[in-house]
Amino acid sequence: MTIGATLRATFSPDIGIDLGTANTVVYSHDAGILVSEPSVVAYRTSDDAIIAVGKAAKELDGRTPGRIRVVRPLRGGTISDFRGAHTLVKTLVDRAMSARPRVAPRVIACVPGCATDIECKAVEEAIRAAGPRTTEFVPQAVAAAVGAGLDITGTRPAMVIDIGGGTTEIAVLTLCGVVAMSSIKVGGDTFDTAIVNRLRHEYFGIGPLTAERLKIERGYAGRAPGCEPYVVAGTDMQQLRPGKRAVDETLVAEAMRDGIDRIARAVWAILEATPPDLVGELMEAGIVLTGGGALIPGLAGEIAARTNVPTTVADDPLGCVARGAGEILASPDVLERLRPHADRLTRWYQSLRIGMRESYSR
Ligand code: ADP
Ligand code: MG
């Protein structure tokens, strides 16, 4: 390395970006989490200008429906709004860099598993607008495993389930390679929608933000923790006026059950696709949960009971992907070993999207 390169490496803020469907997190190896904001942008309806990004945009949600449109550009795991995604990435990277020395960073980004090449390109372009030196991509599940503290370089298998807002990513990894991986469109949003629908059956209308609150306050998997009913405000659809309703925890869990079943089925499919010897080792290595969904009480126990594999929740599950990405970037060896997989992984994900599952092994 030349002196210039060494100096640059010393001052260069290498950053990992987790472009999640619900939250975007920016992490640097030496400064920790720099930015963590909702993946949301707000448009002014009259001229389609973007007036707020991140937390500020989420606060506008549903407040002024006619004049301001609040969009989640990555909702569902695909980029539905390229301009919004572009502005989101650029703004949050700028925000993360504002407190750092003005040296172009190296960036590693994680996109939702089912993102297509075109979507990766769009993200890359957005990142490029923020002026990095280099940009790399790594699948979210791989970053999640590293961020959760799992060793993906050894022969012992590491299994991770990352439950985000729009997607759940499941992977078994060894020797910096992917043994089996899948990405399904089930996540926190699925639960929120199910809770809205379940309450509508009781003739009570609530919005997605209230449903999310209910999920966080009263959601669980497995055995009921025995909490008091949670009171929410909304529209009483029988009397056609605003009202309050005390919602039982079992009603919330009932609404969430289908989504949890779908996640469990996807986990079984991955275990089925993993060679039996590795599955045997997984019984010792265990499964780690990351992403916001990992915080659902009882979920780890439920997955452990259904798969017979011990399951734990990672520390700071919401930061795992960004942390993992940053740490991968900080260890050139791991990055180098992961790189040959990147292209094949994109193709693998695409085949998933169009529904032709090929078997994928190292
Ligand atoms: P993404 O990676 O897709 O951006 P995150 O990993 O940031 O998603 O997780 C966001 C999701 O996790 C949201 O759907 C949110 O409602 C959910 N979530 C956050 N905290 C909790 C909690 N304590 N219990 C249940 N769900 C939660
Ligand atoms: Mg995520």
Query: Both 114 and 7 in a single domain?
Result: yes
Q: Cα of 292 to ligand 1 centre, how many Å?
A: 3
Determine which helix (DSSP H) or strand (DSSP E) holds 138, and give its type and residue range. Answer: none
DSSP secondary structure of 29-56: TTTEEEEEEES-EEEETTTTEEEEETHH
Q: Are residues 237 and 271 in the same domain?
A: no
212 lines ligand 1 (CB under 6 A): yes
Q: Which residue has the higher pLDDT, 209 or 340?
A: 209
Q: Are both 64 and 125 inside the same structural domain?
A: yes
Q: How far is the CA of 188 from the centre of ligand 1 (A)?
A: 6
pLDDT at 283: 94
CATH of the domain at 209: 3.90.640.10
- The closest-lying atom of ligand 1 relative to the alpha carbon of residue 317 is 6
- The number of folded domains in the chain is 3
Residue finishing a domain among 225, 255, 285: 255
Q: Check residue 75 and give its pLDDT.
A: 84
Ligand 1 centroid from CA 40, angstroms: 14
Question: Is the same domain home to 166 and 303?
Answer: yes
For residues 103 and 11, membership in a common domain is answered with yes
Residue 359 lies in a domain: no
Q: In the predicted model, is pLDDT for residue 354 greater than 50?
A: no
Q: Is residue 78 part of a domain?
A: yes
The reply to whether 358 falls in a domain is no
Ligand 1: does its nearest atom lie under 6 Å from the Cβ of 74?
no
Q: What is the average pLDDT across 327-355?
A: 67
Residue 171 belongs to some domain of the structure: yes
User: Do 291 and 281 share a structural domain?
Assistant: yes
Cα 334 from Cα 361, distance rounded (Å): 19
In 3-state terms the chain splits into helix, strand, coil percentages (rounded to 5) of 45, 25, 30
* Residue 206: closest CA among 231, 177, 240, 235: 235
Give the pLDDT score at 340: 63
Look at residue 214 and tell me whether its pLDDT is greater than 80: yes
Lowest mean pLDDT among 35-49, 68-82, 252-266: 68-82
In this prediction, residue 176 carries a pLDDT of 87
The confidence score (pLDDT) of residue 113 equals: 65
Among the three residues 204, 229, 255, which one is the final residue of a domain in this structure? Answer: 255
Look at residue 178 and tell me whether its pLDDT is greater than 70: yes
Residue 312 lies in a domain: yes
Our mutation pick for probing the ligand 1 site, out of 17, 18, 19, 23, counting the most ligand atoms within 8 A of Cβ, is 23
Determine the residue of 17, 18, 19, 21 to mutate for testing ligand 1's pocket, defined as the one with the most ligand atoms within 8 A of the Cβ atom. 21
Predicted confidence band of residue 11 (pLDDT cuts 50, 70, 90): low
Classify residue 264: in a domain, yes or no: yes
What's the pLDDT at 358? 36
Whether residues 96 and 58 share a domain: the answer is yes
Please give the residue range of the domain that contains residue 240: 188-255
CATH number for the domain spanning 285: value is 3.30.420.40
21 Cβ inside 6 Å of ligand 1: yes
**Reported confidence tier of residue 343, pLDDT bands at 50, 70, 90:** low
Residues 28 and 125 in one domain: yes
Distance 46 CA to ligand 2 centre (A): 33
The stretch 142-163 carries a mean pLDDT of 95
Q: Tell whether 60 and 112 lie within a shared domain.
A: yes
| pLDDT(323) > 60 | yes
Report which of residues 237 and 128 the model is more confident about: 237
Q: What is the pLDDT of residue 12?
A: 63
Residue 307 one-letter amino acid:
T
DSSP 311-338: EEEPSSGGGHHHHHHHHHHH-HHHHHHH
- Do the domain assignments include residue 291? yes
Of the pLDDT bands very low, low, confident and very high (cuts 50, 70, 90), residue 341 is low
91 and 163, same structural domain? no
Residue 65 has pLDDT above 90, yes or no: no
The verdict on 35 and 62 lying in the same domain is yes
Distance (Å, rounded) from C-alpha 331 to C-alpha 150?
14
**pLDDT greater than 50 at residue 353:** no
Domain boundary among 232, 255, 278: 255
Lowest-confidence pick of 139-148, 161-170, 176-185, 277-286: 176-185
Q: Mutate which of 162, 212, 217 to test ligand 1's pocket (most atoms within 8 Å of Cβ)? A: 212
Residue 193 domain flag? yes
On the question of pLDDT at 168 being above 90, the answer is yes
Residue predicted with more confidence, 57 or 332: 57
Closest Cα to residue 230, out of 216, 243, 214, 215?
A: 214
- Regarding whether 228 and 95 lie in a shared domain, the answer is no
> Which of 6-10, 116-120, 161-165, 175-179 shows the highest mean pLDDT?
161-165
Q: Residue 258 C-alpha to ligand 2 middle, in angstroms?
A: 21
Query: Would you say how long the chain is, in residues?
Result: 362
Closest protein CA for atom 9 of ligand 1: 292
Instruction: Choose among 251, 260, 262: nearest CA to 206.
Output: 251
Supply the pLDDT for residue 319. Answer: 96
Predicted confidence band of residue 335 (pLDDT cuts 50, 70, 90): confident
pLDDT (0 to 100) of residue 345: 53
pLDDT at residue number 77: 76
- The chain-wide mean pLDDT, for the chain, equals 87
Residue bearing tokens 């973007």? 50
Whether the CB of 23 sits within 6 Å of ligand 1: yes
Tokens at 11, concatenated: 């001052």
Amino acid sitting at position 249:
E
**pLDDT above 70 covers what percent of the chain?**
88
